[in-house]
Amino acid sequence: MAKRGGYPGGMMPGNMNNLMKQAQRMQQKMAEQQKELETKEYTASTGGGAVEATVSGKKELISLNIKPEACDPDDVEMLQDMIIAAVNEAMKQADDASDAAMGSLTGGLGGLF
């Protein structure tokens, strides 16, 4: 009868155990880092400060400030463009911070985590 493959006693070899423990630690660190990022705020402004948007680390718009001089009834489109630009830049800041934090944890694992 052929002997079944595997490891004696069904145990993983020592280095596989270590790899699993490292993966669990990394997963825990990533969860902690994500919680920390979600508490941060990112602010961007456009039009020389006429429009300012703040988003949370959860990528939710939490504040939008518009100075009165930005409200030209003859040029509503410019105000809309400034709002969109400010919100998008604040979101980009949140994304960049998240990417940097996760990249430092995964250390170039090429998207495996």
Predicted pLDDT at 55: 94
For residues 48 and 42, the answer to whether their CB atoms sit within 8 Å is no
For residues 57 and 49, the answer to whether their CB atoms sit within 8 Å is no
**Average pLDDT of the chain to the nearest whole number:** 83
Contacts of 100 (CB under 8 A, 6+ apart): none
Predicted pLDDT at 101: 81
Strand, helix or coil at 62?
strand
pTM above 0.75, yes or no: no
Whether 108 shows a pLDDT value over 90: the answer reads no
Predicted pLDDT at 11: 53
Average pLDDT over residues 5-27: 73
Average pLDDT over residues 66-89: 92
Environment class of residue 109 by beta-carbon count within 10 Å: exposed (0-12), middle (13-18) or buried (19+)? exposed
